[in-house]
Amino acid sequence: MGPGLLLRGAAALCARGLRAAAAGRLCPLLPRPPARLLRTGGCRCLRAALGPPGQGKPPRSVGRGRGAAHSEEEEEEEEDGEQEDGEEEELEELLAPGPPPGAQRLLVVHPAVKWGAKKPQLTTAELQIAEAVALINTLHNWTVLDKIIMSTKTPDKKFIFGKGNFQILTEKIKGLPHITAVFLNIERLSPLTKKELEDAWGVTVFDRYTVVLHIFRCNARTKEAKLQIALAEIPLLRTNLKNEMSQLDQQRGGSRYIMGSGETFMEMQYRLLKEKEFKIRNALEKLRRKRSVLRTQRRRREFPVISVMGYTNCGKTTLIKALTGDEGLQPQDRLFATLDITAHAGYLPSHLAVIYVDTIGFLSELPHDLIESFSATLDDVAYSDLIVHVRDISHPETVLQKASVLSVLKNLNLPSHLLDSVVEVHNKVDLIERYQSPETNAIAVSALLGYGLEELKGEIERTVLKTTGKNILTIKVNLAGPQLSWLYKEATVQEVDVMPEDGTANVKVIISNSALGKYKKLFPQ
């Protein structure tokens, strides 16, 4: 006789739990959570996903039974949420101010070091200035009027360029009366250099730090992203303050005491800045704690978490959309479109449910302070089960981009097993005729056109099973005994194929090594 009843209910139950877990929610029996993903840092979304207090409580024993253990954390979260309402206004004051109003018309200047140890490898001045232009084009109503590559042997000196080239540049700028600013494509300008250049050129001068920070500010949606930007601004505010104070001191204003306060104007400004920094760090810490609760919840539900990382604009969001079918995702052809970490549920070939985490893109020569203030966002990566490194293989600097990403990953202090098991994806192969990967382990895909996705899912599954110590097995159980309910509790049951004639069932499960050991001990064959 052929197989009897085939029950796929277990997988359906699992799907609900998965959606809830991706949304940071726990109850598998509640109405469907918003399909849109929880932005892990955004408390408003979190509350929306949890629903009104009381609604989000899991029943004591549902499905795989693990949901029951977490309600204390959930309550704590709800309380936190209420408390935050009162703080919302106060925190608004800490957030970075909006971008300066009005359009900017820029000259982009790339200082090129053509000889010696400081000459950049794996790229050219043309590609670097192209990236600088792309950064500006990301910003609404900022336009590049002109661009110039100017060679220099002394990029670290006060005027960046030698005398002759500085003169040529100054004349060029004076000959462009319509520009409102110069974007000097170097990591960071000292306040003194910035001031001297602005005095010489008569327009505002931006460095990479200011431009990237500005893009972040424009793209930030969640409270966490905004707070991180506010934190990244602190060093800038501090150096500005130092500058202003030295000017004030020259006019002998900075050291005067403010009446009755016992502190000078300068001391007061520093104190206010310190207080602001303290508040931002506190608020971020709170959000971080909240995230760690979500992390614990996901762990408990045992959905493997896959962090999708890569250089900005390489196609991370497009790939996750293709792997999960999540229509809420909006890939965009601009740098730093994604600033908030979001989680999205998907399935691997053997119906193993996983959560894909979309992350902020990387950029070479991203100033340290900026990376540091966003490192909290990347905290989650350390707790994932696998990293998928997406590369835009059609980009002329793809090799340099890979090196930048790997160097940031190394500095994130990730566990070595994560770094050793990275799955590398070569994306945008549709843009290259007959693409042949030079790296044998990489998977070639087109996230946009859907090529290579099945192969990628297969590779992700193989690696995830290995790194999480899970097995996919079919176990024959006696339906009269407690085995099936034990498996529902301790593993992920995918299919139950009942044989009514002998009261047994073939049960397809995803089970961890340790659970399998226990099962064998409890139910010896």
Q: Is 355 helix (H, G, I), strand (E, B) or coil?
A: strand
The DSSP annotation for 309-360 comes to: EEBTTSSHHHHHHHHH--TT----SSTT---S-EEEEEE-TT--EEEEEE-P
- Least distance between Mg ion and beta carbon 306 (Å): 15
Cα 123 from Cα 131, distance rounded (Å): 11
Please name every residue paired with 13 in a beta bridge, in sequence order, or none if there are none.
Answer: none
Quick one: what does residue 346 bind among Mg ion, ligand GTP, none, with the CB cut-off 5 to 8 Å set by partner type?
none
Q: Is 317 among the residues that bind Mg ion (CB under 5 A)?
A: yes
Quick one: what does residue 93 bind among ligand GTP, Mg ion, none, with the CB cut-off 5 to 8 Å set by partner type?
none
Token representation of residue 58: 């899991």
- Least distance between Mg ion and beta carbon 35 (Å): 18
Helix H or strand E encompassing 444? strand 443-444
Residue whose CB is less far from ligand GTP, 333 or 501? 333
How many other C-beta atoms are found inside a 10 Å radius of the C-beta of residue 408?
18
Cα 483 from Cα 478, distance rounded (Å): 7
Q: Are 339 and 96 in contact (CB under 8 A)?
A: no
Quick one: what does residue 269 bind among Mg ion, ligand GTP, none, with the CB cut-off 5 to 8 Å set by partner type?
none
Q: Which of 128, 324, 338, 404 binds Mg ion (CB under 5 A)?
A: 338
Which amino acid is present at 296?
T
Residue whose CB is less far from Mg ion, 337 or 348? 337
Quick one: what does residue 201 bind among ligand GTP, Mg ion, none, with the CB cut-off 5 to 8 Å set by partner type?
none
Residue nearest Mg ion (C-beta atom) = 338
Residue whose CB is less far from ligand GTP, 194 or 316? 316
Nearest CA to 435 among 414, 413, 451? 451
Cα 38 from Cα 493, distance rounded (Å): 26
Nearest CA to 344 among 322, 315, 361? 322
Quick one: what does residue 492 bind among Mg ion, ligand GTP, none, with the CB cut-off 5 to 8 Å set by partner type?
none
Residue whose CB is less far from ligand GTP, 265 or 451? 451
- At which residue do the structure tokens 């499960």 appear? 509
> Side by side, which strands form the sheet with 6-7?
6-7, 492-499, 504-512, 470-478
Helix H or strand E encompassing 504? strand 504-512
The rounded Cα 523 to chain-centroid distance in angstroms is: 44
- Least distance between Mg ion and beta carbon 361 (Å): 6
Quick one: what does residue 42 bind among ligand GTP, Mg ion, none, with the CB cut-off 5 to 8 Å set by partner type?
none
Q: Are 393 and 447 in contact (CB under 8 A)?
A: no
Token representation of residue 275: 């207080």
Residue whose CB is less far from ligand GTP, 412 or 448? 448
Please name every residue paired with 72 in a beta bridge, in sequence order, or none if there are none.
Answer: none
The contact set with ligand GTP (CB under 6 A) reads 310, 312-318, 331-333, 335-338, 361, 427-428, 430-431, 446-448
Quick one: what does residue 132 bind among ligand GTP, Mg ion, none, with the CB cut-off 5 to 8 Å set by partner type?
none
Quick one: what does residue 453 bind among ligand GTP, Mg ion, none, with the CB cut-off 5 to 8 Å set by partner type?
none
Token representation of residue 435: 């693409």
Residue whose CB is less far from ligand GTP, 312 or 494? 312
Quick one: what does residue 332 bind among Mg ion, ligand GTP, none, with the CB cut-off 5 to 8 Å set by partner type?
ligand GTP
- Least distance between ligand GTP and beta carbon 31 (Å): 30
- Least distance between ligand GTP and beta carbon 359 (Å): 8
- Least distance between ligand GTP and beta carbon 338 (Å): 3
- Least distance between ligand GTP and beta carbon 369 (Å): 20
How many other C-beta atoms are found inside a 10 Å radius of the C-beta of residue 32?
9
Cα 344 from Cα 324, distance rounded (Å): 7
- Least distance between ligand GTP and beta carbon 382 (Å): 20
Residue nearest ligand GTP (C-beta atom) = 361
Using the contact rule CB under 5 A, the part of the chain among 12-20, 196-204, 313-321, 438-446 near Mg ion is: 313-321
Residue whose CB is less far from Mg ion, 338 or 373? 338
- At which residue do the structure tokens 């300066």 appear? 100
List of residues contacting Mg ion (CB under 5 A): 316-317, 337-338
